[in-house]
Amino acid sequence: TFLNTREWKYAGYFNRMKQSVAMTWDPNGAARSRDPTGERFLYKDRVTVLAITLNSEGGLTDAHVVKTSGVDFLDRAAIEAFQKAQPFMNPPRGLADASGAIKFTFGFYLEVGSPGLRLFRGPAQ
């Protein structure tokens, strides 16, 4: 059934990861010193998508930008959020490939005029 697909099967793990990353991601803090009024960089919505690789213990082994927000320091803030939030404990064995690596994309959405920030998990790579 649809609920048995990879995306739904491991939703609990990715939701815990999303919460951990959200607690460490501070794009507004990164922007304040560079753009106090928000007119230079934060005049439009920004999306950063990262390719993430974890080891079998949930430690981050790679994070790189696959879709840039167009603002370098926001992209760096996304990578730093993953670095600070790791390790992501108890990764399900079914997520790992033959070498033990867990690979997926993860998005950061900064919406102009919105009080909240959104994180999303993209399709597996």
pLDDT tens-digit map of 6-59 = 557 888 999 999 999 999 998 888 887 887 777 788 778 899 999 999 999 999
Is 106:82 a contact under the CB 8 Å cutoff?
Answer: yes
Burial of 42 from C-beta contacts in 10 A (0-12 / 13-18 / 19+) = buried
Q: What are phi and psi of 52, to 5 degrees?
A: -115, 140
Q: Which of 42-46, 87-91, 95-99, 105-109 has the lowest mean pLDDT?
A: 42-46
pLDDT of residue 108: 92
- Residue 49: alpha-carbon gap to chain centroid: 7
Average pLDDT value for the chain: 85
H helices of the chain, in order, are 6-9, 11-24, 27-32, 72-85
Q: Rounded to an integer, what distance in angstroms lies between the CA atom of residue 46 and that of residue 37?
A: 16
Question: Bigger pLDDT: 40 or 88?
Answer: 88
What percentage of the chain has pLDDT greater than the value 90? 60
| Per-residue pLDDT at 13 | 92
